[in-house]
Amino acid sequence: MKKIINDPNHVVQDMIKGMVMANPKTVKQLEDTLIIARSEAPIANKVGLVSGGGSGHEPAHAGYVGKGMLDAAVAGEVFTSPTPDQVLEAIKALDSGKGVFLVIKNYTGDVLNFEMAQELAEAEGIKVEKVVVNDDVAVEDSSFTTGRRGIAGTVFVHKIAGAKAESGASLEEVKAVADRVVKNVRSMGMALTPCTVPAAGRPSFQLDENEMEIGIGIHGEPGIERKSIATADEIATELTNKVLEDIEFSIGDDVAVMVNGLGSTPEMELYILNSKVHEILNEKGINVYKTFVGEYMTSLEMAGCSVTLLKLDEELKVLLDAESLAPAFLN
Amino acid sequence: MKKIINDPNHVVQDMIKGMVMANPKTVKQLEDTLIIARSEAPIANKVGLVSGGGSGHEPAHAGYVGKGMLDAAVAGEVFTSPTPDQVLEAIKALDSGKGVFLVIKNYTGDVLNFEMAQELAEAEGIKVEKVVVNDDVAVEDSSFTTGRRGIAGTVFVHKIAGAKAESGASLEEVKAVADRVVKNVRSMGMALTPCTVPAAGRPSFQLDENEMEIGIGIHGEPGIERKSIATADEIATELTNKVLEDIEFSIGDDVAVMVNGLGSTPEMELYILNSKVHEILNEKGINVYKTFVGEYMTSLEMAGCSVTLLKLDEELKVLLDAESLAPAFLN
């Protein structure tokens, strides 16, 4: 294992310290927790937006904490759900009376722990609503998941629900728009290499020298198929078509595109892929409103990518374009 | 070689196509060239800012093209200097009568080709000035370099000279501020793994399973020492101290910090490193004005990092904070 770390069992704490030091004006760490919150939180008369999950997906989720996106991100250990008491802590710290909205990726542990925290918070009189993101079209049910997994499309939920909350919307209004994003966002990924969880010390699975896996999850959960490495154009075609099959598009529809790197794929390769994604959408008469190419939801140093499409209506466009001061999504 | 590409000999052209498709409002490709320019260039009554170099360092340099930073980036093939005629093309396309300023990383090929383009442009009556960035304190003279190499500190030159040019400054004023950045910026890097140039198909060097190289260049040029992997704190200490030895700091000085990932190092590790860099600076009474953690100047999928410090005066702070719409440096 080749990593720039100190103690493999202390990477999350060390990372959070370095994140807060890098962005002292934007974020703070809540004392004795693995929670990063907006420095000015709780914010009066604003729905609090909380997300989080296992670490190792940076910049998700702490990089999305900031004005116009999340109010707090709760970090679990690497690829491990945060505990209910940590999520509860975040809810309590964030609530300004207008309620707290939870954005949860669809993994059994995350759903369980966030829902338990929701119940405990509600028992204390805090209004809590949630959305479960399940944008990955690759497989139904997987290791750690019932139904579809939540992957890079989650970032669009953060952005759009965040902008809605920032505008002063009610908890119900934030939930309505987040539900609409989940209904309209689909993703699919592939990997060329595994990654190594620091505390484990060795890769969680193996891929042969000429092999790739289509439909893999962001923790290396099995995908659809292992096969020989294809060209960028073939990979883009397979991922994009699978996404397009799953959601109804009409000619002239507007979409946001995210071509996301899983960790060690050079930006060069993501741009090469992006070119074919656009070509496919152009051919189908689908209009690309905005494109995001980069690392938004990673799996440590896994090589690979995902393609996300979000079908946009007029309100979603406005919210996507709204200001964000989150370090990993300046807008 | 595991890469998401089509033709290994066509990666730069394919990448540029995908970049322009991703940012159609910000940038354009100059026809029949590997030049990415601001979509509205040439801009009247503004010094044109041109940089570039070999590809494989993305987001450098095309990601820094946009309002407030570069007007154009000239891409060479992977790890290969752009040709003089391409640089000349950029100079001619960018000049609005106020002159063109070149930001060159100190590699023999880059310096030679950019200077040749400068001479040709001057012969056509265009005013051209330049700065050669040599921020890497690791070694004097190296494969491809006489003197010190230019690495991640170059991004600060783009940002600050770009803001100065945007303010309407003269060519001489832009040069003066760029020279001041070069005088005050120092970097040093290390690597855990090599990277593979697509057209070569195999890694350019080898490192053993427990080995790292301190002071390595962004093309894998030899550094100072190969040794067993150290902890993040030890690596941060070695890099930061070497940088600090090379430039005079007084208690209370303000610096900008860049902790740069070389390609496949997870953001988690960069933040862990950042924490120790800050600690060292705090101990010395040096004030961190702003921190940048992420991938700013990469070496394809090399694992490793660099630490850059820029000593700031009041004007440099203002220019660093000025608006930038470049996709890879939104500010």
Average pLDDT (B54-78) is: 98
pLDDT confidence tier of residue A98, bands split at 50, 70 and 90? very high
Q: Among this protein's residues, is A57 annotated catalytic? A: yes
Whole-angstrom Cα distance, residue B179 to residue B253?
Answer: 19
- Under the banding of pLDDT at 50, 70 and 90, the label for residue A54 is very high
**What's the length of chain A?**
331
Nearest of A7, A8, A48, A4 to residue A30 by alpha carbon? A48
Structure tokens at A184: 């309209």
Over residues B294-320, the mean pLDDT reads 98
B327 DSSP 8-state letter: T
Q: What is the pLDDT of residues B195-223, one digit of tens each?
A: 999 999 999 899 999 999 999 999 988 88
Residue B70 has pLDDT above 90, yes or no: yes
Provide the pLDDT confidence category of residue A159 given band limits of 50, 70 and 90.
Answer: very high
Find chain A residues with C-beta within 8 A of B268's C-beta.
11, 15, 55-56, 58, 300
Beta carbons of A264 and B21 less than 8 Å apart: no
For residue A112, what pLDDT is reported? 98
CB B296 within 8 A of CB A41: no
The distance in angstroms from the start CA to the end CA of chain B is: 36
Does the pLDDT value for residue B325 go beyond 90? yes
Please answer yes or no on whether A11 and B268 come within 8 Å at the CB atom.
yes
Of B222 and A32, more confident: A32
Q: Does B172 contact chain A (CB < 8 Å)?
A: no
Nearest-angstrom CA–CA distance, A93 and A97: 11
Predicted pLDDT at A121: 98
Chain-centroid distance of CA B169 in Å reads 22
Cross-strand pairs, B213:
B191, B226
CA–CA distance, A206 with A119 (Å, rounded to integer): 40
Which has the closest alpha carbon to A297: A256, A244, A258?
A: A258
Q: Is residue B143 over pLDDT 90?
A: no
List phi, psi (to 5°) of B22.
-75, -25
Distance, CA of A178 to CA of A297 (rounded, Å): 18
Q: Could you confirm whether A61 is annotated as catalytic?
A: no
- In this complex, which of B11, B22, B268 lies closest to A293 when CB atoms are compared? B22
Q: What is the pLDDT of residue A99?
A: 98
B275–A21: do the CB atoms touch at under 8 Å? Answer: yes
| Closest chain A CA to residue B210 | A2
3-state secondary structure B117-163: HHHHHHHCCCCEEEEEECCECCCCCECCECCCCCCCCHHHHHHHHHH
Q: Pick A17's closest partner by Cβ from B3, B275, B301.
A: B275
Query: Residue A68 carries which side chain, given as an amino acid letter?
Result: G
Mean pLDDT of chain A: 97
What residues of B are in contact with residue A324 (Cβ under 8 Å)? none
Measured between beta carbons, the chain A residues lying within 8 angstroms of B15 are 268, 271-272
DSSP states of A116-154: HHHHHHHHTT--EEEEEE--B-S-SSBTTBSSPPP-TTH
pLDDT band at A40 (very low <50, low <70, confident <90, very high): very high
Share of chain A above pLDDT 90, in %: 95
DSSP code per residue over B230-244: --HHHHHHHHHHHHH
Average pLDDT of the segment spanning A188-195: 97
Write down the pLDDT at residue A143: 80
Task: Classify B28 as helix, strand or coil.
Answer: strand
Q: A275–B21: do the CB atoms touch at under 8 Å?
A: yes
* CB contacts, 8 Å: A295 with chain B: 267, 295
* pLDDT, tens digit (0-9, with 9 covering 90-100), for B7-46: 999 999 999 999 999 999 999 999 999 999 999 999 999 9
Q: Residue B144: what pLDDT?
A: 84
Q: By CB neighbour count within 10 A (0-12 exposed, 13-18 middle, 19+ buried), where does A115 fall?
A: middle
Q: List the helix and strand counts (H, then E) for chain A.
A: 8, 12
CA distance A129 to chain B (A): 30
User: Lowest mean pLDDT: which of B22-26, B141-145, B151-155?
Assistant: B141-145
| Among B266, B270, B295, beta carbon nearest to A300 | B266
User: E strand or H helix at B306, and its extent?
Assistant: strand B304-312
Instruction: Select from B103, B1, B108 the least CA-distant residue to B52.
Output: B103
Residues of chain A in contact with residue B293, where contact means CB-CB under 8 angstroms, are: 18-19, 22
Using the Cβ of A295 and the Cβ atoms of chain B, whether some distance falls under 8 Å is answered with yes
Q: Which residue's structure tokens are 């090469």?
A: A272
The pTM of the full predicted model, rounded to 2 decimals, is: 0.97
Full set of structural domains in chain B with CATH: 11-184 (3.40.50.10440), 185-321 (3.30.1180.20)
B59 touches chain A (CB under 8 A): yes
Question: What is the layout of strands, in order, in the sheet containing B304-312?
Answer: B225-228, B211-214, B185-191, B304-312, B254-261, B287-294
Mean pLDDT of A7-29: 97
Report the pLDDT averaged over residues B121-143: 95
Question: Is-contact A134 A147, C-beta < 8 A?
Answer: yes
d(CA A142, CA A151): 13
**Residue in B9, B17, B69, B268 to test binding to A, most A beta-carbons within 10 Å:** B268
Q: Hey, which residues of B are catalytic here?
A: 57, 219
Q: Quickly state the pLDDT bin for B141 (edges 50, 70, 90).
A: confident
Mutate to test the interface with A, among B196, B272, B287 (most CBs of A within 10 A): B272
**Helix residue ranges, H only, B142-266:** 154-166, 171-184, 232-245
Report the C-alpha gap between B186 and A158 in whole angstroms: 37
Bridge partners for B53 per DSSP: B75
- Selecting from A55, A263, A305 the residue whose C-beta is nearest the C-beta of B4 gives A305
Q: Please list every residue in chain B whose beta carbon sits closer than 8 Å to the beta carbon of residue A9.
A: none
In this predicted model, what pLDDT tens digit does every residue of A111-143 receive, in sequence order? 999 999 999 999 999 999 999 999 999 988 888
| B115 contacts B83 by C-beta, under 8 angstroms | no
Helices B154-166, B171-184: axis angle to 10 degrees equals 150
For chains A and B, CB pairs below 8 A equal 169
Closest CA to B168 of B96, B243, B262: B96
- Residue A307 near residue A3, CB atoms below 8 Å: no
DSSP assignments along A194-260, one per residue: ----TTT-S-SS---TTEEEET--TT----SEEEE---HHHHHHHHHHHHHHTS---TT-EEEEEEE
Write the residue in A3, A288, A293 that is nearest to B269 by C-beta.
A3
pLDDT given for residue B319 in this prediction? 98
Q: Which residues pair with A136 in a beta bridge?
A: A187
Check A55 against B268: CB less than 8 A apart: yes
CA distance A72 to chain B (A): 18
Residue at token pair 């004007």? B315
Q: Tell me what pLDDT residue A142 has.
A: 82
- What pLDDT is attached to residue B204? 85
A14/B291 Cβ within 8 A: no
In terms of DSSP bridges, do strands B100-105 and B128-133 run parallel, antiparallel, or are they unpaired? Answer: parallel
pLDDT on residue B228: 97
Mean pLDDT of A93-108: 97
Residue A214 to chain B, least CA–CA distance (Å): 13
Using 50, 70 and 90 to split pLDDT, how confident is the model at B51?
very high
B178 interface with A at CB cutoff 8 Å: no
Q: What's the whole-number average pLDDT of chain B?
A: 97
Assess B267–A contact: CB distance below 8 Å, yes or no.
yes
- pLDDT score recorded for residue A259: 98
Q: What is the pLDDT of residues B214-255, one digit of tens each?
A: 999 999 888 899 999 999 999 999 999 999 999 999 999 999
Q: State the pLDDT at residue A204.
A: 85
The alpha carbon of residue A170 is apart from the nearest alpha carbon of chain B, in Å, by 30
Q: Does A2 touch chain B (CB under 8 A)?
A: yes
Using a CB–CB cutoff of 8 Å, tell me whether A76 touches chain B.
Answer: no
DSSP states along B62-109 = GGGBSTTSBSEEEEEEETSPPPHHHHHHHHHHH--SS-EEEEEES-HH
CB contact under 8 A, B15 and A235: no
Rounded to an integer, what distance in angstroms lies between the CA atom of residue B284 and that of residue B297?
A: 27
Residue of B nearest to A19 (CA): B271
CB contact under 8 Å between B301 and A266, yes or no, is: yes
